[in-house]
């Protein structure tokens, strides 16, 4: 049996339809999880977030997030802001949204707070530091590999 060019075109189209249908079925079976539940509302707050990043970058090296040992993380801000600073430290894990941890940020008089990382899974994390002092918002983030 010989195939003419019309049969080849029909076979190509049929193969394309089958491949597309297979991919759509595969994609529909994948779990769809947004990184955040309030993804769209968060995008609307982007301007204030950008100002908070600028405020924190203006402080320069006075902000630090460093591991002090295998089970602790030290977060520091300038001592001058410490008495009035209140906020949160978020341990964000992109691989598992259920593993995120939010801890209240209350620095001591030197601007430092030590946080426990015990029980956190090994891998890539993002430490997000948000705080307010003197009616100004600040935001700083740093990757952490455990």
Integer CA distances (angstroms), 69 to 7, 61, 66, in order: 69, 21, 9
Rounded to an integer, what distance in angstroms lies between the CA atom of residue 48 and that of residue 44?
9
For the chain, the straight-line distance linking the first and the last C-alpha, in angstroms and rounded, comes to 64
| Superfamily the domain 39-145 falls into | Immunoglobulins (2.60.40.10)
**Model confidence pLDDT, tens digit, residues 36-46:** 677 777 777 88
pTM of the model: 0.69
| Ramachandran area for residue 131 (φ above 0: left; ψ -120 to 50: alpha; else beta) | beta
Check whether 94 has a pLDDT greater than 90: no
pLDDT of residue 4: 86
**Model confidence pLDDT, tens digit, residues 45-89:** 888 899 999 999 999 989 999 987 888 999 999 999 999 999 999
SS3 for 83-141, per residue?
HHCEEEEEEECCCCHHHCEEEEECCCCCCEEEEECCCCCCCEEEEEEEEEECCEEEEEE
SS3 for 17-40, per residue?
HHHHHHHHHHHHCCCCCCCCCCHH
Within its chain, how far is the Cα of 93 from the centroid?
6
């Amino acid at each position: 049996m010989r195939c003419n060019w019309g049969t080849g075109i029909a076979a190509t189209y049929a193969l394309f339809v089958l491949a597309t249908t297979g991919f759509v079925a595969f994609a529909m079976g994948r779990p769809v999880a947004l990184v955040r539940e309030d993804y769209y509302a968060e995008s609307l707050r982007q301007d204030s977030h950008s100002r908070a990043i600028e405020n924190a970058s203006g402080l320069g090296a006075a902000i630090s997030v460093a591991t002090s040992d295998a089970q602790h993380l030290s977060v520091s801000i300038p001592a001058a802001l410490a008495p009035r600073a209140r906020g949160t430290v978020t341990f964000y894990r992109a691989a598992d949204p259920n593993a995120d941890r939010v801890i209240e940020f209350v620095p001591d008089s030197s601007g430092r707070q030590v946080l426990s990382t015990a029980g956190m899974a090994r891998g890539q994390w993002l430490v997000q530091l948000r705080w307010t002092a003197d009616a100004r918002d600040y935001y700083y983030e740093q990757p952490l590999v455990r």
